[in-house]
Each structure stands twice: as structure tokens, then as C-alpha cells.
Structure 1
């Protein structure tokens, strides 16, 4: 900046020449300089005030906008900032088809210790061992007096246990809030739900992750905050499930079986209304998987899905269905049943001598191995395999259970004519009861393939056609005759027109060589009502023995069939099926339909 001199020489000389006072020029220049300085200072002050005012206005504007945003949003709990990904503890509920709770969350607490904060570690260890008998007092004392600065004592405790620990008065014993998975119905539908446990754990929260069943299959969905807590709705009916499990448990004990399973499925959309496997477990206290022995002996083993069994004569319906649909036979076609049927070094026999000939219907009603084998020979190995593949008998079921993909049916690598014959009556091929239920539903519902599911469906597109509607109607009539006058006579339930097919298969030895002589898998695959099929029920018993007679009886007609009949009798009204009562002769009663 250029400064003006206070006493400019030219003006001083000019003033002296005129006789003026040169000091007046200096005073005038000082005054002007001060005025300039004052003006600049005022401008700086005004600029600073303007900037400060703008800053205040913007600050208050931001605060006001944030307050308006918070006022318009939903209230939520504040979150503590921390490094790393947070633990999302909230997990969606699981409900049945009517919205009743199958699995939910419960707020509880964990118990942990910080030994450096403890006043009396010895007393704390003694009191904790008294409250939790499974804890070792000496081990606790060693941990409390060692170098550890933190240790878990209990991952979850009850309110009563929390109060008891609180009364110890030890500042080094602390509680952490967390959610735990609760199954209010205990073991009910245990194999479907599977169970959950803790994944990542922190002091203030724990991650709940699925361990098995639908809990693991839908683990990501159940934990996804984007679902806003929407429950996962299953196709199960809680009341029907409880009834099926109650009857199946009583039947298993009555028939002295080591295990049992039952599947009740909608024949038209594949919804599984009930699925039971015994023995079972409580998912609130899920046991550890076995590390040795037969996996099927564990209560965790889901016999309905994971159990691969030779299902015996229940397979005879497949051979007859295919032959009828191909036009090779009709229900009245006579089949040669003279026995034994010799094929090379193999001999195929029937359980009883049924005479030289049986109609196709009676081959199924009386369960003739020879008759079914001769029908299968007419079909041929290639077409037989194509039909079984179309029914889903060569692949794992796509049901929404994490255990399902590992249950792929066991079938022969080679398929000579003798295999074609034995497979036709369920020998030499192993599938799960769920495979059987889905296949029967596909045959009796009009002939379209169904896909089993554990999810509630509002609408299902028909699957590919397996057989014609005419063939399906013929099969329903045949299955009804099996119950009315055949091997499943104990399966008749008045008012509900039950049809079905029995199957009794010898259990293979664990060595893989040969079959046990006194151990069987007894199965009854049923449909009701046969006049208008709504549901398919498959009941299978592992090593049953009926002992009410002089000799033990193990066939499905004496073991699995009565259990299935009682399940139908108890569940049909729960499913909304009204009995159709036939008029009594000469009683003057007229049946009235709405």
C-alpha cells in the first residue's frame, strides 16, 4: 500500500512562499490518514459480523432440520458406535399356517465375570456352584484367581438364576442382555424347525443362527432386517401336527418299534400339513450330533426326509399305474401268478399262494410280487426308469430342509431284467417316506406332479402330467379296494373312504450283505377320501412287532395300517373334512348332501 507523506516537500515550499503555516498541511494529512484507517476498520468489522451471522443462521438451520427429521421418523433405540460389524440379534418368528407361533425370541441375560473387579473370588465360586450344579467350584476359583481378565460363565440364564447371582453381591459378576430362540411347543415339529444357537457373541448381544431344519435353510431370510420382522409362515398346522405326533408316539410304543415317521401332505399343492419323526428332541435344548454308531439311532435323525428305506410293496402302485397308462393292461386283465417265478438263479415268491391267475386289481389288492414282476417285464427297464424319474424317485426331494439334499435315493447302477422285476415291488431301491408321499400324491390327484413344500402357498401352478386323469381315477379305485378287502383292511375309517397300499420290507444288515430275518420297515401309503382326494398320509415304522396274538406279527397290515387309520380318524375333522355316512339298510335313513 502506498502511503501519502505527511509533509510533502512541494506543498511545504509553496506554503512558505505564500507565508502560510506548513504544520497545517501535516495536521490535515494526519486527519485524512486516520479517517482512512477508521473506514477500513469499520469495513472489516462489518464483514466479520456478516460472516458470523451467516454461520449462526446455517448452524441453527441444520439443527432445526435435524430436529424436524427426528420428529418425523419412527423412534428407535440409540446404538453405541463401535468398530467392526454389529451383531444383529433380532430374528423373525416362525408361525404355522394359521399364524400360531412355532419359534420366537425371548429376552434373557448372559453371565460373565471380570476377575480383576472381584472382591471375594472364593465365595463367588462357591455360590455360583450352588446356583449352577453343572459348574465346577474348583475350576471357577482357578479362573477367578488366575490371569484371565474376562470369562463367560453362562451363555443364558433364567430370571430366577439372575436374581440369585445378583444376591451374591460380587461386583465382578456381570450380566449382558441378549435374545435367545424359544420354541414354546417344546419337541413339537422339532425336525422341521431344527433349532438355533449362538453364532458371534458379544457382551451386549449375541448372533442367533440356525443349526438345522428350516431355521438353517431360511437363516439369512430370518435375520434380514429388510423383512421388518415379517414372520416365516410354514404349511404346518399346529393342531394337526400335535395330533399326528401323539398318535404316532402311542403307535410306536404299542407296536414295539424303535422309530417311526408320518407325513401328511396336501395331494394337490404339496403342502406338508404335518411331518413327524420319532424319537425326537427339544429344540430348546438341542443335543449334540452323534460321533459314532448308527446315525439313524440319534433323535436328530429325520426319518421322514433323511431315512432311505426299501419301501416294499408300496412301489407296486407305480408299475401298475404305468402299465395302465401305457395301455398294456386294464384293471380286469388277468396276470399269471403261478410261483415261484424263476429268473436265472433268482426265485420270486409271494407271501401267500394266490393261485394261477389274478386280475391287475387283485395283484395290487393281494400284493402279489409275481404278478407285479410280470407287469414290469411288459413295461421294460428303460421306460420303468423314465417313469420313476418323472415321479422324483431318482433325485433328492426339493423340500425346504437343509437335510434334504443329502438324501438322494439309492438305486442300482445296472438295471437288468431282474432289477426291473424286483424294483417293481420295492426291492433293490431305497427312497425316503417323503419321496413316497410326493409320488402317491402325483398319482392320485389327477396325475400331475407335485413338489413337496413346508411353506404356505396361496397359489400353485399344476406340475407336469405324469399319468392321465382316467388312470388316476382307476388307481384311486384300486387303492380303495386294498383297504376294503385287501392287505390294509384295518385302515378303514368310517365316513372317509380311505385307500392305500401296504409295504413290508426286510431291513438290510449293517454289514451290507443280506437282510435281517426278523426286522422290517413297515409302511402304509394312504389317500383320503378316495372319492375326491385331498390328502396323502404315509406312516412308516422301524422294526415293529405286534404281539397281541400267539405269534409276533410284523407286516404293515398289522402294524403301520392301524396307526395310520387312527391318525386319519383324529385329523380328518381337524382338516375340515366332513364324514360321508352311508345309509344303513332297512333303517329308513336317507343321506342328504348339501
Structure 2
């Protein structure tokens, strides 16, 4: 077209002024200049088009050579696929790991027909929320989650649907092979793989969450985290406490095993519990199962209870360590104590003076109160503080409960606390304090991570002298042979311990027909290696129809020790007197 216009203009110039005049020469000169200008303009136009096509071609080549960028990267949470470390037990058994999953998302701006998309997706995902999904697809935004962590089969079926604007994002899902077996120790994570409870939350508190927040985490495998628990023992403990809760018709039950020399938690179970693979459960009507979520509550470390007569262990240890009594001392338990409008009496009392082993054996409230009175109020409070029973325990487990005590200790408070009423503490720290009575007098903070004896020795605090510890081993062994501890005795393993039956506080008053029962044990008593504390909350029945700790918590301890002692490396011994060597080795 441009060439045609130029030719027509040239013809017009040549047809004017044919007489050779000066005007004609000017016309010919103008024609020549016009032809030159036209060529320049055409050249510039061609160069411009060439440049445009070169730029477009270059960009096409660049896109062809570049790595494909997943559309899902527009999501702001770029660290959602960051790895968490595997969690192992003390023997290397896998307790928690990451699984590669995919999640379904949509780009609503690219959705052609939201109604059709919802209908087609529902054929693959039966539990899809139609209303919420439709709202998200009609939002007009650049990114919306539709379903987190779908199965590979669902991903393949959705791909076959060919819905534009639908994509998948790789994610990690935490998997716990043992299910609920160690749920209160391990805890669980949320849908973004962030720790919410237990050791999972502890790991985030150690810096994993901060690294995630600043984008320093990666998809690379991390160094595994090894725990102190033995999953074999843990499985047995959890099974026994769950069976006891059912058989004794109780509200809850639990147990914990500690290594007395290192403070390592070998096993800890609390029921009801839950499956960390499914921390929340949805009912058919779409609501959350609140009863199921009650299993999140860990009664061993996250709850406090009045521990009943197990506290008599600490009261007698206090009197022995202060030099107020010895094993040959006699206290008057012939009559009840009346104080501040209250009457302190014994359950099945002997109504006579008792030796210290008899006070322990018969679980005398009167005799224990007499020992507390010898030490005095301030000395009593200071001793329990030294054992760690009045302060929050330090361990890796998040959410540890704070013990409660009277704001002002009066004589009546000291008396009732001496036999386990008036102070509420966690079962875990009760077991820790009992370990100090057994291991020579060293208070060692509990740990859910491996710890050697050398490492434990560096952090141990001397709270009683070795002679007091030897006397307490004698009393535990004595009660295991002659007192309420007989219900926990396992032939060959020389078990000693102390029962505790406490009336529960209901609406501000003690209910005589509702108990919280506990049994604290140690084995083998000639050289204790482990302490075990069992608890059962509000049992309606027990062995032979009884509801006390001797009929509930003690048989639980017997079942646990009989099945786990050999796994813990304790060899049974038969044919010798289980009490003959209790003092000889110390």
C-alpha cells in the first residue's frame, strides 16, 4: 500500500511542467526529495516492526527455557512443606514422622462455572462442604484452599475431571505409627504441621517455629529426636491403665515410670486419651466431638490432685531427716486429734501407740500428724518445697500444672497436709520426689530425653541424707511385705510402696464416697532402679469390691511391674528374703 502511494505521487510529479521551465526543474527536485524521504520512513517502520518481533521472540525463548513455576506458589505460607524431625524412642523405634501429601486449591479468578466445579468435585470428595466451597470459588480472589491433605486416589480422580483453575500443592502430614499409645507425650500438630502439644510443641519452642517464621526451614530431612521412653513399656502401661479405668468404672486413670538415678521418664500414660493422627473428631452433624477432645487432658503432668496417704512418705522422711524420729521411735495414736473444729482419726485405727514402721504400715493419720507437729509448720513447708512438691516442675513437657497450697500455713494445715490433704500437686512430681527418697536423697528433674547418670549427677540436688533414704527404703519394703503394698507385690521383683486414698473435693466439700487413689512404688527394693506411680480417679469399684487405693491403684502397679520389669532389665530373684538386703547395700 505504501509503495503504491509513492508510485502515484511520482507519476503526478512527472506529469507537471513538461516544457523544461525553471518551475519544472523545481518539481523534479521535489520529486527526488520525496522519494528519498519515503524510503527513510519505510526503513524506520520496518526496523520498528523488526524490533517488536525480536523482543516477542526473545521472551518466548526465555519462557521455553525457564523451569515451570507451580501456580500454588502464590500462597503466602511458603514454608508449609518444611520438614519436622522424626521422633524415636530410646531404642530407635519410630514414634512420629512426616508423610508427603497434597492439598487441593483453587484460583477463583480462573473458575468458569463455580456451580459445575462444586458438583464435579463432590463426586470425588464426599464430605466436601458445598456451601463453603461455592463461596470460595465465587470470591474472585487469586487463591483459596478447598481441601487439605487429600489422598493420592482423590488427586488422580480430580485431575481426570479437568476443571480449569484447580490445582494441588505438596504438603507434609505428621504420622504417629503407635496411634494413641504415647499421645500425651508426643502431642500433635495442626494442619500446617506446627506443634500444638507435648514434645511436638517443645520442638517448636526450641527454635523450629522461629526458623519456620523467617523462612529458614527446608524440605530436607532433619536429625531425628530420640526420647527417653520405651515404646514397649509405654504400650503395656497404657493398656493396663485403660483396662483399669474400664474395669473399675472410673473417670480417669494413669501411670508414670521413672529411672531413679537419671530422672528419665520411661513411660507415662493418662486415659482418656486420643489419637494424635486425628486430634479432633467431627460428628455426623458437622460439630466437633467435645467428649473426644477431653482426651487431650494429661492428668499425670497437667493436673494437680491431693495425693492422699502417699504424702505420709514425705512426712516421715521429714521427721527422720530432721532427727525428730528414728525407726524405733513410738508415737501415740491411741486417740483422735481434735483441732479447730475438726477431728483427725485413723481409718481402721489400732487405738494404741505405734512404732514408725507401724505408722507407715497402718497408714495412721494420727501418728503422721504427730511427726509433722514435731518438725513444726515452717520446717514442714520448707521440706516440701525442697522436694519440689510446692513449685512448678521443670521438664520438657509444655503445660505442666502449678501445685496449690494454703496462702497461710496454720497448724491445722500442716496436720492435714502431713497425710495428703490441703496441698494439690501433680502425680509426676510426686513420683520425682519419691525417687529422691529411694536413690540416696538426690532430687533429679524429670526428662523425656535421654540422660546419662553422669549428666544427672551434675544437676541433682541433695535434699535428704543417705541414712534417711535408707530408712525410707526400709519402710517401703516393710509396707510392701506387711501393709497395703502387698496388693502390688510381684514375686521375684521385691516391690515396695505406699498407697494413698484421698476424698475428692466436690463443690467445696470432701465427698466420702468419691476417691482419688494413688500408689507410689519402687523396685527392686534392695537397690531401687525405678519408681512407679499409678492413679485412678473416682473408681466405683475395685478388686473384691473395694474402692480404696489398695483395691485399685496397687493392683494396677502389680500388673505393670509383672509385665515390664524384665523389659526394663530387672532380673527376678527367687528363694531369698526380699527384705534382707534392703539396708545392707547402703
C-alpha contact (below 8 Å) 1:304/1:432 kept by paired residues: yes
Say whether residues 1:465 and 2:450 are aligned partners: no
Aligned equivalent of 2:549: 556
Give the alignment's TM-score, normalised by structure 2: 0.79
Q: Partner of 1:210 in structure 2? A: 195
Match of 1:449 in 2: 443
1:391 to 384, 387, 392: 387
Q: How many residues align?
A: 492
The one-character-per-residue Cα deviations of 1:342-382 (angstroms, maximum 9, x if unpaired) are 12322101111212111101101110000100111001111
- Residue 333 of structure 1 contacts residue 359 of structure 1 at CA under 8 Å; is this kept in 2? yes
How far apart are the structure 2 equivalents of 1:292 and 1:181?
21
Report if aligned partners of 2:83, 2:221 keep a CA contact under 8 Å in 1.
Answer: no
1:229 matches 2:222: yes
Residue 436, structure 1, aligned to residue 430, structure 2: yes
Q: Could you tell me how far apart the structure 2 residues matched to 1:504 and 1:489 are?
A: 16
Distance in 2, Cα, partners of 1:377 & 1:349 = 15
Answer yes or no: is the 8 Å Cα contact 1:366–1:486 preserved in 2: yes
Which of 474, 477, 482 aligns to 1:480? It is 477
| Structure 2 residue matching 1:516: 3-state secondary structure | strand
TM-score normalised according to structure 1 size: 0.78
Deviations 1:279-313 (A, max 9, x none): 11111221289x99999981111100111000000
Tell whether 2:411 aligns with 1:417: yes
Distance 1:83 1:236 in 2: 39
Deviation at 1:516, TM superposition (A): 2.0
Query: 1:401 aligned to 2:394?
Result: no
Residues 242-280 of structure 1, C-alpha deviations (whole Å, 9 max, x = no match): 111011111111111111111100011100000111111
Write the mapping of 1:154-303 to structure 2, written as runs, cut at 5 A: 154-199=147-192, 208-219=193-204, 220-222=206-208, 229-287=222-280, 298-303=294-299
Of 321-330 and 134-143, deviating more is: 134-143
1:431 positional shift: 0.2
Q: Taking structure 1 as reference, are residues 293 and 96 closer, same or farther at Cα in structure 2, changes over 3 Å only?
A: closer
Partners of 2:543 and 2:552 within 8 A in 1: no
SS of alignment partner, residue 167 of structure 2: strand
Q: 1:532 to 1:101 in 2, by over 3 A?
A: same
Which whole-Å CA distance do the structure 2 matches of 1:241 and 1:128 have between them?
43
Q: Which runs of 5+ in 2 are unaligned?
A: 1-68, 212-216, 578-586
Q: Which sections of structure 1, spanning at least 5 residues, go unmatched?
A: 1-76, 200-207, 585-594
Give the Cα–Cα distance (whole angstroms) in 2 for the partners of residues 294 and 185 of structure 1: 23
The answer to whether the 8 A contact 1:222-1:232 is kept is no
Q: How does 1:454-533 map to 2 (within 5 A)?
A: 454-458=448-452, 459-462=454-457, 463-509=460-506, 511=507, 513-533=508-528
Indicate if the aligned counterparts of 1:331 and 1:361 stay in contact, CA closer than 8 A.
Answer: yes
Shift of 1:102: 1.3
Offset of residue 449 of structure 1:
1.1
Map of 1:542 onto structure 2: 537
1:368 matched to 2:364? The reply is yes
Question: Aligned ranges for residues 572-587 of structure 1 at < 5 Å?
Answer: 572-582=565-575
Change (3 A) 1:292 1:423: farther
Cα separation, 2, equivalents of 1:547 and 1:471: 34
The CA RMSD measured in Å over matched residues stands at 2.8
Q: Distance in 2 between matches of 1:377 and 1:294?
A: 47
In 1, the alpha carbon distance for the partners of 2:451 and 2:140 equals: 57
Could you tell me how far apart the structure 1 residues matched to 2:576 and 2:422 are?
46
Do the aligned residues in 2 keep the contact of 1:92 with 1:222 (CA within 8 Å)?
Answer: no
- Tell me what 1:28 maps to: none
In structure 2, the CA distance between the partners of 1:559 and 1:547, relative to structure 1 (3 Å rule), is closer
Report what 2:331 is aligned to. 335
Cα contact 1:120–1:170 (8 A) shared by 2? no
Query: Does the CA-based 8 Å contact 1:545-1:559 persist in structure 2?
Result: no
The residue aligned with 1:17 is: none
Shift of 1:129: 2.5
What SS does structure 1 have at the residue aligned with 2:532?
A: strand
